[in-house]
């Protein structure tokens, strides 16, 4: 007599809704305040790990229990990066940790997909920049002086060149084939 496994084997279509919903979210929805110049990179990391969690979750984002190694392999991130990104997702309120799974011995996590969808999308352009004017608004302020040529004079390629001893001029070949 064979015993049946106690865990449910998930069908591929069980996870598509959660993964599709997260894929449609722009990376800027995963922004934390004061990230600095690495903001886009960090937002991309968070979205990537959230998508990997969604691959293993139910359609509503519950029951995601991939191991850290399972998250490391497709993303290419290290163990500490995965833990940092998971902490960031918890800070944003997109992820909740549950108990340890009895059979797989991994943490059961829940993605809050509705919160991700409703997250405010931050503008990626800095707000403190002022637009540049192409031309002055007052035509009398246009400078009509000619612009001096700052380029150095061009030497003739075929002119004789003194050799290193200064005795005989030699000619450079015009082109080497």
Q: Structural domain boundaries of the chain?
A: 12-117
C-beta atoms surrounding 14 within 10 Å: 15
Q: What is the mean pLDDT of residues 116-142?
A: 64
Q: Degrees (nearest 5) of the Cα angle 134, 140, 145?
A: 80
Between 88 and 11, where is the model more confident? 88
Q: What is the pLDDT of residues 149-167, one digit of tens each?
A: 666 666 666 666 555 565 5
Average pLDDT over residues 20-27: 89
Does residue 45 have a pLDDT over 60? Answer: yes
Q: What percentage of the chain has pLDDT greater than the value 90?
A: 28
What average pLDDT score do residues 83-108 get?
87
Please give the full DSSP string across 11-36, using - where no structure is assigned: PGGGSHHHHHHHHTS-GGGG--TT-G
pLDDT over 80 at 29, yes or no? yes
Q: Which tokens sit at 152?
A: 């150095």
Q: What's the pLDDT score for residue 116?
A: 86
Judged against a pLDDT cut of 90, whether residue 86 lies above it is answered with yes
| CATH number of the 12-117 domain | 1.10.10.10
Q: Find the mean pLDDT for residues 7-23.
A: 64
More confident site: 47 or 141: 47
Q: Which residues contact 172 (CB under 8 A, 6 or more apart)?
A: 157, 158, 161
- Please tell me the predicted confidence (pLDDT) of residue 169: 57
Average pLDDT of the residues in 30-38: 90
Does residue 64 or residue 171 have the better pLDDT?
A: 64
Beta strands 107-111 and 161-162: pairing type?
unpaired
Mean pLDDT of 82-92: 93
């Amino acid at each position: 007599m064979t015993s049946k496994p106690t865990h449910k084997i998930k069908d591929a279509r069980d996870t598509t809704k959660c993964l599709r919903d997260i894929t449609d979210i722009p990376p800027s929805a995963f922004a934390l305040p004061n990230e600095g110049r690495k903001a886009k990179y960090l937002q991309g990391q968070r979205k990537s790990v959230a998508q990997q969690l969604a691959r293993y979750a139910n359609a509503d984002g519950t029951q995601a229990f991939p191991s850290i190694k399972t998250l490391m392999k497709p993303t290419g991130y290290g163990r500490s990066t995965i833990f940092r990104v998971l902490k960031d997702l918890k800070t944003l309120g997109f992820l909740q940790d549950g108990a340890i799974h009895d059979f797989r011995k991994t943490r059961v996590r829940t993605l809050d997909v509705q919160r991700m969808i409703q997250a405010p999308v931050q503008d990626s352009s800095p707000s403190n920049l002022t637009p540049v004017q192409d031309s002055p608004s007052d035509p009398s302020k246009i400078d009509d002086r000619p612009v001096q040529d700052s380029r150095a004079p061009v030497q003739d390629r075929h002119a004789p060149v003194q050799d290193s001893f200064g005795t005989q001029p030699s000619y450079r070949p015009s082109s080497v084939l």
